[in-house]
Amino acid sequence: MNLIETLKSIIYPAALVAVFSLILFILLKFPNGLRGSYIKFFVLFLPISIMLFKLYNNINMDNQLFFRISDILVFLSVLSLTLWLIGPILGIIQPNKVIQSLWEPMTEINSYWGLQFFRPEQREYIKFFDISVYRNIGLYPESPMFNIVLLLGLCTELFLRPKLKIWRILLFFITIVSTFGSLGVILSSVAIFLKLCVYVDNDRKWIVYFLVLCLITIVFVLIIYKKEHAADSYNSHLDDFIACFKAWKKSLIFGTGFENNSVIQFYMAEFRKNNKGYTTSAGAVLAHGGLSLFSIYIVPFIKLIFLKSTHKRVNENLFGIIIFIVFVTYIFTYRFLIFWLLAFGYSKINWRNIKHL
């Protein structure tokens, strides 16, 4: 491929996504006036990230960007586990700072030198076997956001790195368990199980069967625990899907307005009047921008999940499946991380074939 063709392969997909995003910019509603946020993510950051991934694709180093992120997450995992153990768990050190959460303006969060946070109120620790254990929330105000980046690190090590590094996988899994988020534990267990199905040869399939039994046991225990001790969380997740679906039905194609949460809140159940947090990125996108905005998100996931099944591609298929489930079950709709992941999916599309259609 000559220089001109290389430049076209890098610029063309980014330009196509940018143009489509600009068309939607004209068609979508912006009741909250957040046009600058839309331009930042969809017209600038996403196309630039696509070009970066395409550039790395051309030199067969596209996964290197994820490896660097994983390196950072390994450091953060070690740091968070250390401070979590000697801080909230063992009480060897005491928090020396208090910050205000921007997500919940009336909420104060304890901090250890700004490197580790923990929340002492009831809803941020889990009573398990009559033992109160604080959640490990790392550098985030809540454990679900920490779980998202940890799951990305785990999936990078399982599905994108050519040679498995068991200690990294164990580190991410232990850190996810320390957040006491049942969904994170289930998804990480499923990811490890799927990797074993691909990695283990037929003579050692008994290992997979044993781990399946362990996985089913873990999921069963978590479901029972969730039902008995965290019914509000479960009901909030379910109600969020229902509220987003009802809001989306008001305008299937273009949604009710970019980041317009008032319609979703209108359909929330009465028991959530004091908890207006969201739990599904996919539902929020559909409610905000309908199928038109959702198409920007779903196309790269479809490509990742349905890549041709070579050994390398199967691992990328599994990466796409787990990350898509994270997108459906966690909320990070308009964050740099989700657009970075979308750019990775877009970079896998054979744009030259599309150009000649």
Q: Give the pLDDT confidence of 259-301 residue by residue, as tens digits.
A: 999 899 888 888 776 666 778 899 999 999 999 999 999 999 9
CA dist., res. 175 & res. 150, Å (int): 8
Rounded to the nearest 10 degrees, how much is the dihedral formed by the CA atoms of 38, 347, 321, 186?
A: -70
Clarify whether residues 50 and 136 are in a common domain.
no
For residue 50, is it within any domain? Answer: yes
Clarify whether residues 56 and 86 are in a common domain.
no
Clarify whether residues 112 and 146 are in a common domain.
yes
Q: Residue 267 corresponds to which amino acid?
A: Y
Q: How many domains does the chain have?
A: 2
- DSSP code string of 260-296: --HHHHHTS-GGGTT------HHHHHHHHHHHHHHHH
For residue 95, is it within any domain? Answer: yes
Q: What pLDDT, on a 0 to 100 scale, did the predictor assign at position 357?
A: 38
Clarify whether residues 301 and 243 are in a common domain.
yes
Q: What pLDDT, on a 0 to 100 scale, did the predictor assign at position 311?
A: 56
Clarify whether residues 134 and 236 are in a common domain.
no
Q: What pLDDT, on a 0 to 100 scale, did the predictor assign at position 356?
A: 41
Low-confidence residues of the chain: pLDDT under 50: 122, 124, 355-357
Structural domain that includes position 184:
63-193
CA dist., res. 286 & res. 247, Å (int): 8
Question: Three-state SS string across 221-232, please?
Answer: HHHHHHHHHCHH
Q: What is the pTM of this model?
A: 0.88
Structure tokens at 8: 């076209």
Q: Name beta bridge partners: 126.
A: 133
What tens digit of pLDDT does each residue of 91-102 get? Answer: 888 888 887 776
